[in-house]
Amino acid sequence: MTFEYTPAESDYLNYLYYVTTKSKRVVKKRAINKLVILGLYFIIGIFLYNSQGPVASGLFFLLCLPMYFFYTYFEKRQYLRHFTRYVRANYGDEIGVLTTIALDDDGVSITVKNTSTKMLWLEIEGIIETGSLILIEEKSQNAIVIPKQKTSNVEQLINELKRIVSSHNIQYNEELNWKWK
């Protein structure tokens, strides 16, 4: 079966956000960064309390409290800038170009422009369906990113992938409510 889609920059950004939220190392790093900032606020607040008194310390904590919650917003913006540069550098040739994906019992073939690549189902680690994407993950940690809204006959594609998954012992995960946090 053959399906066509035209990926956009936002599709690759969503893929990178998904991979980031599933990485234990990144989740740990983000939590540690928040704790470090909280610790710095606390140490500076205690220093102000000892040197300037409770009023200065209280004002400092009142000013820092919103900043702590804005940190998540600034962190997301930083990831967006970094990922946008990455997507433009690594996927720039694929953005806005008609991509054809063909599924058969041997593997999956992807054609972008005049370049065609075939992967056997033995090389596929799993398939993940989010609210906006279908990700076919290779064992080499690469993935085929298929935007659901821009794919012809997406329901037929999903049904075909589920059929192939059951016959090739590949994991199929549905995370339809996944959101970037």
pLDDT digits (tens, 9 = 90+) for 128-144: 999 899 999 998 888 99
Domain final position from 61, 90, 119: 90
Indicate whether 85 and 100 sit together in one domain. no
Token pair for residue 8? 């956009």
Cβ–Cβ under 8 Å, residues 101 and 2: yes
Tell me the whole-structure pTM to 2 decimals.
0.83
Indicate whether 108 and 166 sit together in one domain. yes
56 falls in which pLDDT band (50, 70, 90)? Answer: confident
Instruction: Say how far apart CA 58 and CA 64 lie, in whole Å.
Output: 10
Q: At what angle do helices 24-52 and 54-90 cross, to 10 degrees?
A: 150
pLDDT, tens digit, 9 for 90 and up, residues 67-110: 888 888 898 899 999 999 999 999 888 899 999 999 988 899 99
For 53, the 3-state DSSP assignment is: coil
Indicate whether 63 and 86 sit together in one domain. yes
Between the CA of residue 41 and those of 62, 71, 99, 174, what are the distances in Å?
A: 11, 13, 50, 40
For residue 118, tell me if it sits in a domain.
Answer: yes
